Amino acid sequence: MPPGYTTTQKNAISQFMAFTSTDRNTAVRHLKSHNWSQESAVNGYVICFQFAIALSS
């Protein structure tokens, strides 16, 4: 992981990636947009994912 992230942020990135099966860039983008709140970021990701599925149906 590139320098510049705190230990807490690195852990959040790793946990987000593990929970959502996404890459690091996606994890960082969602976490940053949700002020590094893991719960909020995961919820936001799931909502976006469900919306994308609904649009493709």
pLDDT digits (tens, 9 = 90+) for 18-32: 999 999 999 999 999
Instruction: Give the per-residue pLDDT at 11.
Output: 98
Instruction: Give the per-residue pLDDT at 1.
Output: 57
Q: What percent of the chain has pLDDT over 90?
A: 77
* Residue ranges covered by each domain of the chain: 7-56
CA 3 from chain center: how many Å?
A: 18
**Is 51's pLDDT higher than 70?**
yes
- Mean pLDDT (the chain) is 92
**CA-CA distance, 33 to 44, in Å (whole number)?**
9
Instruction: Give the per-residue pLDDT at 2.
Output: 61
